[in-house]
Structure 1
Amino acid sequence: MLFATTGGRVRGGPPVGDVVAVLGIPYARAPFGERRFRAPQPPPAWRGVRDCTAFGPISPQSAELSGAPVWRPGDEDILTVNVWAPERAGPLPVLFWIHGGAYTFGSSAEPGFDGAALARAGLVVVSCTFRIGFEGFGHVPGLPDNRGLLDQLAALRWVRDNIASFGGDPGNVTVAGHSSGAGAAVCLMTMEPAHGLLRRVIAHSVPAVFYAPELAAAVTARIAREAGVAPTAEGLLSLPPAALVAASDEVAARCGADPVTPVHAYESVIFQPVVDGEVLPAPPLQALASGAASDVDLLVCHAREEARFLHAVGGLREVTTEPELADLTAALDLPPEVLHGYRNLLPDAPVLDRYLALFGDARFAAYTSRLAEQHARAGGRAYASRFDRRRGPARPWHTADIPFAFGNLDAVGAEFLIGGRPDADDHALSARMRDAWAAFARTGDPGWPPLTATATPVRSWAVPDDHLASDEDSALGALWRDVPFAVQRPAAVGPGRRAGSCR
């Protein structure tokens, strides 16, 4: 099938069922050469019909994910979008997906992000590839920070200008993301240039970390030193992307013994959005609390046991003793009452279990919930949900909810995420989550009550049945109610801090 875009005509693959996939459409020029480390620029137009039946190249990274393409040096035309369009009369609501991966790895071409099932639910689904790692989020003196966010903004402009050709409604766009993709989504929600480009946001497991400029500069200094160049634009531009990927990976691998901040001794995520006062004027939580996005609807979700996944894949340092747990609490800059609270909530649990519960809530769950609460108090419409599906040894951990929401339980890699082959109850849960996403994108109402200034209803996704809970009076909610989430800044590792392996 042929579709008209501002760059020229494109051809998608043959319909599968009633859905056409159009893959690898350029939304900006290749961000290398003279355009490297700069804001994205519009793509050149083409003559004739461009074949768009395969994903474009992915962003520079070392990750090799199951079923997904890998990056090869020389792959440069990475700023592309993918569209799944149902063969039905429009205009239909648009769901714009931002993949996760610690702002460092991943791509829109991962099998679990195929948009066909959501398209069959009545959406036009768009995903995009954007700069990650140092190319997208590394600080380069004199050049813009948050280039990955600027890429996503450019992709949203492409949606505004082109999605009607695919049957989508440019006035009804929902930006959705998970983990770092959710962090990017709430950033876009509060950025002035994105105003009018999105109407709603779905954010699953939003990370709580945002960098001050001086911390971003400190990370760059470590990477430049590892690569043997000066931490200047000239020095960094002299390095090919593969060299920056390798230097970044080495700095992350050594973070346990040589952390940039105390918390880097526990997890090795060294790239985060930078609150630079320009691209990102304020941290999202502060912006939402001020009412900066009160006209944008928000749906959040977090997993009951977020950090179990990070521990299972070797992304967290091992903590098994009470002194180590106290050090972790200090590294997170949490008041002692939080540590005492988890002892009371889980009195018979091993230290490792309390550590994973505390870390997962600190990094994802409590922050995600706070975003929705503050948005509602500032006059926005917000809905909260929690992924709590358990079956046998399978746990409700970070990322397990995404195959359910996409309807891709049988995709490559999904079996590990969801803890085994799906059964009938799992497929029923997936249909409910998919319907909630589609309903929210259509109308702003996923099917349960919104938060208010005094009430926090939470949809708990589970098998065989879901239920509605109330979080405002829960012991866990009370424990986090007054804990601040601050922008992260550089800090020396103090006496008594125990460094260990992040891998």
Structure 2
Amino acid sequence: MYRTTSGRVRGRAPADGIVAVLGVPYAEPPFGENRFRAPRPRTPWSGVRDCTEFGPVAPQSAELPGAPSWSPGDEDVLTLNIWAPEAAPGPLPVLVWLHGGAYTFGSSAQPDFDGTAPARTGLVVVTLNYRLGFEGFGHVPDDGRGAFPPNRGLLDQIAALEWVRDNIAAFGGAPDNVTVAGQSAGATAAVCLMVMDAARGLFRRVIAHSAVGSCFAPELAERVTERVAAAAGVPATGPALAGASPQALVRAADAVAEECRTDPGAGSLHWDPVLYGPVADGHVLRGEPLDLVAAGAARDIGLLVCHTTEEYWLMDAVGAVSDVATDERLHRFAADLGLPAGLVEEYRALLPGAGPHELHLALYGDLLFGEYSSRLADAHEAAGGRVFLSRFDRKDAGVRAWHCADVPFAFGNVDEECVRFLIGGAEPGAGDRALARRMTAAWGGFATSGDPGWRPGTRDIRVWGTPDRTAASGHWRDVEALRALWAAYTYRPVRS
């Protein structure tokens, strides 16, 4: 049994020396009078709360392998989970995980996020749910009193970190040695937290796998709300949106995303119809995180950056990529995304034999993830921060090193059946399990002391594979030549 500021909790019986305490509420359910508002402290309960199962997932339409689906009516969605060694020798470093999912889907209950293996390296591991989609990131017109803040999903994450600060010692964790880790949308959220005043002092380090840029400009968030409200059949006002059911807004967002996907005039949303994300509102999030990192807003926070070398091929494999079968479509994509003149042809020269579809996948993967991750590392280092850069390039038996493939390795969960598709379909071999042990140990070392096992800086890059290698130019294409092609591109909040 463990005592928290809200009451006592009971977790699962220890398994192989690790205790799991699941579904612990860290804030009040964000519905009813709390809907679209900043998270509120949890009302204490009496007795001992049984915390042996994951909490409900946030409203969404996704159904992910091995993970629970959202059930309308389940409102207690702001919960977290803890994995901790049963007998800790002293306060242990804490790793807090933020799941990805395009700010629209996913949860901490996915089997590949089980914290047992990282906990065995000597960490207390925390995973959490936060508000997604319109509930967490949709623009809600304010009443002039700040009732409906933007970036509510980020505020949820801060509330969870405050819970960790106040309670993690009861589970053997060190509240003054916290690392925030995330992948994809979760990585970008972690980078946002690095530069948010409200998160200052809640963690020491960040692990960002496949951070995706850029954030949204307020005007884009407002236009998305207008379209979602119209699709839901309600006015785009705070009271009207609060009166719409969560399932109505989920259905409306799915409809708007499909409209964008099929509308060539939808700008960037035609190519990647992700309707929600952190908004550079000037208050909760003061600006584009990359710019704020470059200005030194997070120079005291250690940073470990990783991305995969073939990020966007996953989106192609799951049918989430727009059809780019012709050069005309490829150049339209480049124009809509504001890519530098000549970049398409430079990629064509770098990838001889690649057709429009393959060039689109390479360009978009580098734009969203690869180059953005590298810029993040560059900016942090130039501002005086300590940074480690890595890339995931496991390609055994023709397997692609695509988006999300690195996560089961870092968590040490490559044997989970639900991750087979991500890591290539076949049962993992001895080399894969060894790679997982190395990546999990790197996370453990970084969370413990800020040292993942290689030299800091952006010149010595750890390239994860079977075997690993460290090289200043380790990539599936020449890194220096590739990055030079992006020199003229500037990341700015997305406006269309």
For 2:309, the aligned partner's letter is R
Residues 462 and 469 in structure 2, CA contact (< 8 A), matched pair in contact too: yes
Aligned equivalent of 2:366, options 344, 361, 366: 361
Aligned to 2:182: 177
- Secondary structure, aligned partner of 1:306: coil
Q: Tell whether 2:17 aligns with 1:18.
A: yes
**Cα shift at 1:260:** 7.7
- Secondary structure, aligned partner of 2:472: strand
Residues 214 and 288 in structure 2, CA contact (< 8 A), matched pair in contact too: no
Aligned to 2:95: 95
Q: Deviations over 1:254-289 (max 9, x none)?
A: 112336841111122111110011111111100000
Aligned to 1:190: 195
**Cα shift at 1:193:** 1.1
- Secondary structure, aligned partner of 1:336: coil
Aligned equivalent of 2:448, options 442, 448, 460: 442
Aligned to 1:166: 171
Aligned equivalent of 1:424, options 425, 430, 433: 430
For 1:265, the aligned partner's letter is H
Structure 2: distance between partners of 1:418 and 1:318: 25
Pick closer, same or farther for the CA change 1:259–1:190 going to 2, 3 Å: farther
Aligned to 2:145: none
Residues 28 and 40 in structure 1, CA contact (< 8 A), matched pair in contact too: yes
Residues 313 and 403 in structure 2, CA contact (< 8 A), matched pair in contact too: yes
Aligned to 2:109: 109
- Secondary structure, aligned partner of 1:175: strand
Q: Tell whether 2:395 aligns with 1:396.
A: no
**Cα shift at 1:347:** 1.8
**Cα shift at 1:406:** 0.1
Alignment of 1:33-52 (within 5 A): 33-52=32-51
Q: Tell whether 2:226 aligns with 1:227.
A: no
Structure 2: distance between partners of 1:219 and 1:465: 43
- Secondary structure, aligned partner of 1:210: coil
Q: Tell whether 2:269 aligns with 1:264.
A: yes
For 2:15, the aligned partner's letter is V
**Identity, % of aligned pairs?**
56
**Cα shift at 1:90:** 2.2
- Secondary structure, aligned partner of 2:251: helix
Structure 2: distance between partners of 1:435 and 1:390: 21
Aligned equivalent of 2:487, options 468, 471, 481: 481
Aligned to 1:309: 314
Q: Tell whether 2:332 aligns with 1:327.
A: yes
Q: Deviations over 1:141-190 (max 9, x none)?
A: 01211000000000000000000111111101000000000010000011
Structure 2: distance between partners of 1:457 and 1:309: 27
Aligned equivalent of 1:465, options 458, 462, 468: 468
For 1:58, the aligned partner's letter is V
Residues 111 and 411 in structure 1, CA contact (< 8 A), matched pair in contact too: yes
Deviation larger for 88-97 or 253-262: 253-262
Aligned to 1:496: none
Deviation larger for 470-479 or 152-161: 470-479
Alignment of 1:193-208 (within 5 A): 193-208=198-213
Aligned to 1:341: 346
Residues 66 and 412 in structure 1, CA contact (< 8 A), matched pair in contact too: no
**Cα shift at 1:421:** 1.4
Structure 2: distance between partners of 1:281 and 1:235: 28
Structure 1: distance between partners of 2:378 and 2:449: 20
Residues 28 and 154 in structure 1, CA contact (< 8 A), matched pair in contact too: yes
Aligned to 1:493: none
Q: Deviations over 1:86-142 (max 9, x none)?
A: 122221110000000000000000011000000001110001110000100000001
Structure 1: distance between partners of 2:197 and 2:365: 31
Aligned to 1:81: 80
**Cα shift at 1:350:** 2.1
Residues 462 and 468 in structure 2, CA contact (< 8 A), matched pair in contact too: no
Structure 1: distance between partners of 2:333 and 2:403: 20
For 2:155, the aligned partner's letter is L
TM-score by length of 1: 0.95
Residues 340 and 488 in structure 2, CA contact (< 8 A), matched pair in contact too: no
**Cα shift at 1:417:** 0.3
**Cα shift at 1:337:** 2.9
Aligned to 2:128: 128
- Secondary structure, aligned partner of 1:324: helix
Q: Which runs of 5+ in 1 are unaligned?
A: 491-503
Structure 2: distance between partners of 1:70 and 1:209: 28
For 1:66, the aligned partner's letter is P
Structure 2: distance between partners of 1:276 and 1:225: 23
For 1:468, the aligned partner's letter is A
For 2:452, the aligned partner's letter is P
Q: Tell whether 2:238 aligns with 1:239.
A: no
Residues 112 and 408 in structure 2, CA contact (< 8 A), matched pair in contact too: yes
Q: Deviations over 1:195-223 (max 9, x none)?
A: 10010000000111211111000000000
Q: Deviations over 1:36-88 (max 9, x none)?
A: 00000000111111110000111001111111111111000110010000122
Structure 2: distance between partners of 1:91 and 1:259: 55
Aligned to 1:433: 439
Residues 373 and 456 in structure 1, CA contact (< 8 A), matched pair in contact too: no
Structure 1: distance between partners of 2:121 and 2:357: 41
Structure 1: distance between partners of 2:283 and 2:293: 17
Aligned to 1:499: none
**Cα shift at 1:466:** 2.9
- Secondary structure, aligned partner of 1:353: helix
Structure 2: distance between partners of 1:197 and 1:69: 30
Deviation larger for 458-467 or 292-301: 458-467
Cα RMSD over matched residues? 1.3
**Cα shift at 1:4:** 1.1
Residues 268 and 315 in structure 1, CA contact (< 8 A), matched pair in contact too: no
